[in-house]
């Protein structure tokens, strides 16, 4: 059985959503970030970076990096059609936008939310946050141009949609996202309303009234 080390409002949402969509048995092991458990020896032995999530595969291999988890789960269950097959053009585009989002949106979200981690000078924190907001706006605009609707590639639901919905749920200004990136906003709604995912959405995003519909 898969084991998912998770905490709410983290990147654990995406692999948990995919595992749930697949009806794959897995156990959830909560890491209490309020107590700093992600930085304690027991968890660092699993993920030395102290980041959540971590996914333990069926053979005991530990997988980190959310995007990698999603691609592996899609490949391990090809019958579900959650990703195009390797070698297909849509698969190449999935790589492109997953990696783009991980490098530009995920990282910028962290810079905005935890700006103190990215400068040794407290006076520099507002500048870090402002630059992160600019990068987020540019990156989401590029994504919005590519969304076919209701999901990224049209009507077919894929792991890319889960990843983008997760990141959209972390946006620093939901009103701005809805106005400037309406197709991204609609994609997030479509993912969060899927019957199997909706309960997880409430766990991870239920504290954000703007994301309840």
At 26-67, the pLDDT tens digits run 999 999 999 999 999 999 999 999 999 999 999 999 999 999
Rounded to 5 degrees, φ, ψ at 30 are -75, 135
What is the torsion angle, in degrees rounded to the nearest 10, for the CA atoms of residue 51, residue 174, residue 113 and residue 148?
Answer: 50
Closest to 165 (Cα-Cα) out of 207, 194, 145, 138: 194
pLDDT (mean) for 10-35: 97
CA 158 to each of CA 20, 100, 179: distance values in angstroms, whole numbers, following the listed order:
13, 16, 25
pLDDT at 28: 97
pLDDT (mean) for 74-101: 98
With a CB cutoff of 8 Å and minimum separation 6, the contacts of 2 are 19, 24, 25, 26, 27, 55, 56, 57, 58
pLDDT at 213: 78
Average predicted confidence (pLDDT) for the chain: 97
pLDDT (mean) for 6-27: 97
Cut 0.95: pTM above it = yes
Q: Is the pLDDT of residue 154 over 90?
A: yes
């Amino acid at each position: 059985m898969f084991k998912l080390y998770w905490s709410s409002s983290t990147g654990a949402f995406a692999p948990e959503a995919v595992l749930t969509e697949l009806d794959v048995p897995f156990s959830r092991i909560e890491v209490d970030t309020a107590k700093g458990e992600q930085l304690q020896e027991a968890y660092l032995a699993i993920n030395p970076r102290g980041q959540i999530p971590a996914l333990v595969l069926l053979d005991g291999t530990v997988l980190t990096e959310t995007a990698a988890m999603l691609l592996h789960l899609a490949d391990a269950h090809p019958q579900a059609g959650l990703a195009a097959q390797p070698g297909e053009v849509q698969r190449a585009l999935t790589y492109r936008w997953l990696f783009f989002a991980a490098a530009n949106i995920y990282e910028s979200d962290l810079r905005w939310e935890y700006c103190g981690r990215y400068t040794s000078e407290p006076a520099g924190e507002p500048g870090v946050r402002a630059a992160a907001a600019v990068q987020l706006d540019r990156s989401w605009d590029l994504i919005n141009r590519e969304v076919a609707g209701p999901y990224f590639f049209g009507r077919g639901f894929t792991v890319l949609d889960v990843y983008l919905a997760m990141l959209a749920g972390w946006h620093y200004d939901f009103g701005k996202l809805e106005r400037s990136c309406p197709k991204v906003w609609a994609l997030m709604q479509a993912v969060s309303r899927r019957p199997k995912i909706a309960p997880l959405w409430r766990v991870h995003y239920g504290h954000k009234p703007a994301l309840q519909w």
